Structure 1
Amino acid sequence: MSEDKNRYGQTTGHVWDETLAELTNPPPKWWMLGLHASWILVVLYTLYYPSWPLVHSHFKGFAGWTAIGEFKKDMKEVQDVRAKYEDKLPGMSAAAILADNELKNYVVRSAKVLFGDNCAACHGSGGAGNPGFPALVDDDWLYGGTIDNIQQTITNGRKGMMPKMGGNQLTDEEIDKLANAIVGGTITKEPLFAAKGCIGCHGPDGKGMAALGSANLTDKIWRFKAQDQLASVKTTIKHGVNDPSDPNTRKAEMPSWKDRLTDTQIKKLAVYVHEFGGGK
């Protein structure tokens, strides 16, 4: 043992391979200072913030800090910044908001979350549309793309109707001719377009009527987009859209949001959608 002391300093008596010894020297002072500073900091932290559990509650800390209190403070700071804009919105129309550039920019930024929570599931996060649902970024609007049209659509919803044309109305051969003319961009040159009364809803120029919500058949923007677009158009002509008499009819309905969103939220969404670039 004394020999170990001389060779290695204070040891536990455990020596291996003649030179490997387990020492009992004290740790460096800097390490000990760090250790004591750490436990002192822990004690101070638990005294300053909520920490120790008690029988029916917990020690609340001398600072009186809570996570919900900090959250409310942060929210108040955000609301104070927003207030100068939010206070104006209830008394303004969506068109008036668009005319105020500063207010419009605020609404577009603040409505992004609203759109994500309520609209993106169908129309896509950027308004590009998901399968079976219309895109909002093009310039094709069944009921018109003005700010007032968009606001009315969000408020009341839309459920257009195209009667099925298969069966007694059109033969399969006639449906093929009309579908090929629509996909080929020559619908107004197809005699069946006028002869079968299609112009009554889609207009003599084939561009549709906003008052009826009828589709523009000349712009190659498809409400029911598909890899086989010709087959998709045939299906629409044959079975119609929202025709209760045909179980195979296309389903297309925009729900009303007036019972789920406030008037101000609807105006915000109308401005946000309008500013995608497709609004008129």
Structure 2
Amino acid sequence: MSENNPFPNEKNTGHIWDETLRELQNDPPGWWRIGFHASWIFCIAYFVLYPSIPSLDGYTKGTLGWTAVSEYKEDLAAIDEVRSKWEKQINDPNMTAAMIIADDELRNYTVRSAKVIFGDFCSACHGSGGAGISSLSADQSGYPVLADDDWLYGGTVEQIQTTLTNGRRGIMPNYGARLTTEETADLAQHIVALSEGSEHEAGKAVFMDPTKGGCFACHGMDAKGIAALGSANLTDAIWRFDVKGGDQRLASVTHTIVHGVNSELIDPASRNAVMPAFGPLGKDLPTGTLKKLAVYVHQLGGGK
């Protein structure tokens, strides 16, 4: 590095390498200087206007008094104001779920509003679209489909709201100790045959015999179920405890017959099929929210 500066009239640091290689001291471009000064001016202005500098007892509040929380509350209030027109109608004690369905505008709002509520409280068991969750094996219970037209306790919007409010806990006795292995197999084959439009004579005899299965008492003489009891329709192809058909289906039906449903105090292998209450006895959701959920479930496609 040369100690002599052969370019005395040039702005450079005086550090010269290989006779001409040098470091210049040109002023920054004008746009850069403007940006630099604008940046620190902006920072000072921001610190003055907005919350910014932490302190031992909190932070500087800023002269505008703005906070993200206050902005959120203002936005929420604006949304609530828009919604209030429909929410007031839904929360009216005289407004029923059936009346909501009859009003196109109110129904559309309710369905959109309830989709979020359904996601929070219902989708974990019934799936995001009400498609249910199938059993992975014959001894598992799974969760029912809400998008079909098969309803244990009735599919009107009023009945759906009652189910949501009070929950459901149907009971099917376990027949493992009452029936022989052969009778159990015959009954299972008959139930599967019913769903296919036929019958199994030996199994039908067990089904109709009050000293044996006596299944007709709950499922009806026609095996179509009784909504007041929450008993299943055995003649359709919709299964509350289904796996994938074939031998698995027969095994699943057999398990239900042998161990029952919600009879765990007697048989630990009994199926668990409990719908929790979302009304005063359970989650205690507001009545308006229960109406919304009832309308939403009804509109999934299977409501009556």
Does the residue aligned with 1:153 lie in a helix, a strand or coil?
Answer: helix
Superposition pairs for residues 1-280 of structure 1, below 5 Å?
1-4=4-7, 9-16=10-17, 20-91=21-92, 92-131=95-134, 132-168=142-178, 170-184=179-193, 185-186=196-197, 188-190=199-201, 191-192=204-205, 193-195=207-209, 196-227=213-244, 228-243=248-263, 244-259=265-280, 260=283, 261-280=285-304
Change (3 A) 1:29 1:201: same
196-205 or 147-156: bigger deviation: 196-205
Contact 2:185 2:254 in 1 (8 A): yes
Q: Distance in 2 between matches of 1:155 and 1:18?
A: 92
Q: Equivalents in 1 of 2:222, 2:24: separation in Å?
A: 98
Distance 1:111 1:138 in 2: 19
Equivalent residues of 1:157, 1:255 under 8 A apart: yes
TM-score (norm 2): 0.85
Deviation at 1:181, TM superposition (A): 2.9
CA–CA distance in structure 1, aligned partners of residues 28 and 16 of structure 2: 20
Deviation at 1:75, TM superposition (A): 0.9
Whichever residue aligns with residue 276 of structure 1, its letter is L
Cα gap change, 1:101 to 1:17, in 2 (>3 Å):
farther
**Residues in 1 aligned to 2:55 and 2:230: alpha-carbon distance in whole angstroms:** 66
Residue 41 of structure 1 aligns to a residue whose secondary structure is helix
Question: Which of 195-204 and 133-142 deviates more?
Answer: 195-204
Given the two structures, how large is their TM-score scaled by the length of structure 1? 0.92
| Aligned residue type for 2:288 | T
C-alpha distance in 2 between matches for 1:29 and 1:179: 89
- Structure 2 distance, partners of 1:17, 1:145, is 93
User: Counting helix residues as a fraction of each chain, which structure ranks higher?
Assistant: 1
8 Å CA contact 1:123, 1:134 repeated in 2: yes
Deviation at 1:57, TM superposition (A): 3.3
Q: Could you tell me how far apart the structure 1 residues matched to 2:217 and 2:198 are?
A: 14
Please tell me the residue identity of whatever aligns with 1:174.
E
SS at match of 1:3: coil
Alpha-carbon distance, 1:236 to partner: 0.3
**What is the CA RMSD across the aligned residues, in angstroms?**
1.9
List per-residue Cα deviations over 1:59-102 (Å, max 9, x = no partner): 21121111121111111100110111111112211111111111
CA distance 1:186–1:173, shift in 2 (3 Å): farther
State the shift of 1:14 in Å: 3.6
Cα pair 2:189 2:200 within 8 Å, conserved? no
Question: Which amino acid is 1:263 matched to?
Answer: T
Counterpart of 2:139? none
User: Partner letter of residue 129 of structure 2?
Assistant: G
**Which range moved further: 16-25 or 193-202?**
16-25
Point out where structure 1 has 5 or more consecutive residues left out of the alignment: none
Cα offset for 1:211? Answer: 1.1
Given the superposition, is the C-alpha separation of residues 249 and 57 from structure 1 closer, same or farther in structure 2, using an over 3 Å criterion? closer
Once the two structures are aligned, what percentage of the paired residues are identical? 55
Query: Unaligned stretches of 5+ in structure 2?
Result: 135-141
